[in-house]
Amino acid sequence: MSINVITLVGRVGSDPDIKYFESGSVKCRLTLAVKRRSRNSDEPDWFTLELWDKTAEVAGNYVRKGSLIGIKGALKFDTWSDRNSGVTRSTPIVRVDQLELLGSKRDGEGGVDLPPENF
């Protein structure tokens, strides 16, 4: 058995980057800052999110920098060959299956950290 599920709640780091393809597909990329439950660190962990089709359109229409969102998805790795050195590089990406709009920075801390079972 194998499981690849990631659930995150955090604030969006920048406005969504939306791309439309001739095939009709829509892709959205954005970053998410998630505070780690630790007394020693105020620095968030940053995640790159990738959303597709209807979920991407919802993000493009309703998500902005500072929005509080919850996501559920799977971790994948984008790989490419470095143009200068030819070395294979990779970066982790969260492929989002579910998106929950929890609030925006203007709402203060109005959004609530929901447990994963509410996604």
- pLDDT of 41-80, one tens digit each? 678 899 999 999 999 999 999 999 999 999 999 999 999 8
Interatomic CA distance for residues 6 and 31, integer angstroms: 15
DSSP codes joined into one string, 55-95: HHHHHHHH--TT-EEEEEEEEEEEEEE-TTT--EEEEEEEE
Radius of gyration from C-alpha coordinates of the chain: 15
Report the pLDDT value the prediction gives residue 90, as an integer from 0 to 100: 92
pLDDT of residue 86: 87
CA distances from 55 to 37, 79, 97 (A): 28, 24, 8
Question: What is the pTM assigned to this prediction?
Answer: 0.78
Superfamily of domain 6-107: Nucleic acid-binding proteins (2.40.50.140)
Computed over every residue of the chain, the mean pLDDT equals: 86
